[in-house]
Amino acid sequence: MNDPDLLDPSAPGSGTGYATDFAAAPAALAHDELECLASLYPLPRIEIASGRGAWVRDAGGRDYLDFVSGIGVNALGHAPPGLARAISRQMRTLGHTSNLYTSAPSRELARSLTRATGYPKVFFFNSGAEGVEAALKFARARARARGLPGRDVLAFRGGFHGRTAFALSATWTPSYREPFEPLMPGIRFADFNDVDGLSAALDPNIAAVIVEPVQGEGGAIPARREFLVALRVRTSALGATLIFDEVQSGMGRCGHLLCAGHYGIEADVTVLSKALGGGIPIAAVLMRDDVASSLKPGMHGCTFGGSPVAATAALFMLSRIDRPAFLSRVRRRGRELGRSLEDLESRHAAIAETRGLGLLRAIELHADAPFDAAALVAAARDRGLLLVRGGERAVRLLPPLTVGRDEIEEAVRRLDRALGSLGSPGGPSS
Ligand SMILES: Cc1ncc(COP(=O)(O)O)c(C=O)c1O
């Protein structure tokens, strides 16, 4: 029998000894990429050959604990049992239709997602940026349909919404924006979590406010409840559309299906992507009726969005994640990871702060720490732990939502050693 869904004893991480000597074994970097790949990411990169659960194996045969999860995509870990079978069965039956037609998986996903989230309407796209792009367009269409005077958008410093023109225009990071200016006009920025600052930032020219309930790429910074409440109250008063970008924080990452569930606040539009497809690209823009009613056939479109295969993957992910026991386990694991990081903070002077929600966490380094976030990511990698930067001085941890307690403990031990190796006082230096 050769079923890829069955557990393979030679799969990454299947030995539980965690014994590999990573510091002595350099990562398998794909140097030949330098010849043929545009360097939009720092090259050369590790070539990952396979993955299972919270573990990946590089092309040189070394195992790593993966606390990046494809930047929050592999929520059920690598190669979750059943996903490959469901996708391949659908591909053999019907792979693509375009949005001129629908299919059973696409209809079923629309039904399941609207039921699960309470939003009456949804439409599907392929990526986070594409979903955000659509959400911002829909907000402007709604403003026009309601006869609002302005079309401006309010976004927040530290926020990240993607790389397409409208999404990038609402993204804060200047180095992402500047090479491509001029961008979309009419976007303003205010300070995240600053309730008092909203009075100056919001006026009748604002048609939409876009915010991440937890700023992900900004470094796992949770919104304060008063801040989101103030946004909800004030956008409602203005008739503006409140958009929650839950591309990273949604699909259980923060311990609720939607991170908004943690705050008990509903936006007019919510964007999901990343973990929704578990590795197959898909985004969902969930919307209230009065947003959907301002859209007409032909106003927007998408060749691939919600294809039968992507919808099958999303149905699979949703059916596993949207379970009370699963989500309460994510919250528990999140608290365990949070406590372990606090313990590291108490022992390493280089750490200024640890923060996050659920399994979207970060450690922030002091400005005068003797090393930076990139050095810490590299040192952790050399000890068999994959992490990703966030903001200017933070390192993010986004393990699969299925991560085990022992894997969290092992990851924190490796992080501790990585900190120690960089000369951070307080840790074992390996
Ligand atoms: C909050 C948020 N919005 C949008 C995006 C863009 O998603 P994508 O890279 O799929 O376009 C990301 C990606 O990291 C994100 O974290």
DSSP 144-204: HHTT-S--EEEEETT----SSHHHHHT---HHHHGGG-S--SSEEEE-TT-TTTHHHH--T
Average pLDDT in the chain: 94
The residues with which 190 forms a beta bridge, in sequence order, are 156
Give backbone dihedrals phi and psi of 238, rounded to 5 degrees, phi first: -85, -15
Are 56 and 121 part of one and the same domain? no
Residue 246, domain member (yes or no): yes
Strand 385-386 to 63-66 pairing: parallel
Ligand 1 contacts CB of residue 126 (under 6 A) = no
The Cα–Cα gap between 275 and 260 comes to: 16
Strands 121-125 and 48-52: unpaired
| Cα–Cα–Cα angle for 333, 337, 342, rounded to 5 degrees | 145
User: Quick one: DSSP state of residue 223?
Assistant: P
Asked if pLDDT for residue 2 goes beyond 90, the answer is: no
The rounded Å distance from CA 400 to ligand 1 centre is 17
pLDDT at 430: 46
What is the amino acid identity at position 373? A
Mutate to test the pocket of ligand 1, among 248, 270, 388, 398 (most ligand atoms within 8 A of CB): 248
pLDDT at 4 (0 to 100): 41
247 and 308 within one domain:
yes
Residue 7 included in any domain: no
How far is Cα 245 from Cα 231, in angstroms, rounded to an integer? 14
Domain endpoint, select from 322, 346, 371: 322
Same domain, yes or no: 298 and 237: yes
Same domain, 102 and 178: yes
* Structural domain range at position 361: 33-66+325-421
In a domain, 9, yes or no: no
Distance (Å) from CA 352 to ligand 1 centroid: 26
Helix (H) or strand (E) holding 136: helix 128-145
In the listed set 293, 322, 351, which residue is the last one of a domain according to the structure? 322
Domain boundary among 298, 322, 346: 322
Q: Is the CB of 170 under 6 A from ligand 1?
A: no
Mutate to test the pocket of ligand 1, among 124, 161, 166 (most ligand atoms within 8 A of CB): 161
Six-digit token string for 157: 């410093």
Report the number of distinct structural domains present in the chain: 2
The pLDDT tens digits for 47-68 are 999 999 999 999 999 999 999 9
Tokens of 114: 């609207």
Q: Is the CB of 128 under 6 A from ligand 1?
A: yes
For residue 56, the domain's CATH number is 3.90.1150.10
Q: Note whether 185 and 210 are same-domain residues.
A: yes
- Work out the angle at residue 259's Cα, subtended by the Cα atoms of residues 257 and 265, and round it to the nearest 5 degrees: 110
CATH code of the domain in which 146 resides: 3.40.640.10
> What pLDDT score was predicted for residue 23?
58
Same domain, yes or no: 122 and 267? yes
This prediction's pTM = 0.95
Ligand 1 touching residue 171 (CB < 6 A):
no
Query: In this model, does residue 428 exceed pLDDT 70?
Result: no
Together in a domain, 375 and 310:
no
Q: Which atom of ligand 1 is nearest to the CA of 273?
A: 10
pLDDT value at position 12? 80
Supply the pLDDT for residue 22. 62
Q: Of 338, 336, 333, 380, which is closest to residue 356 (Cα–Cα)?
A: 338
- Domain assignment of residue 392, yes or no: yes
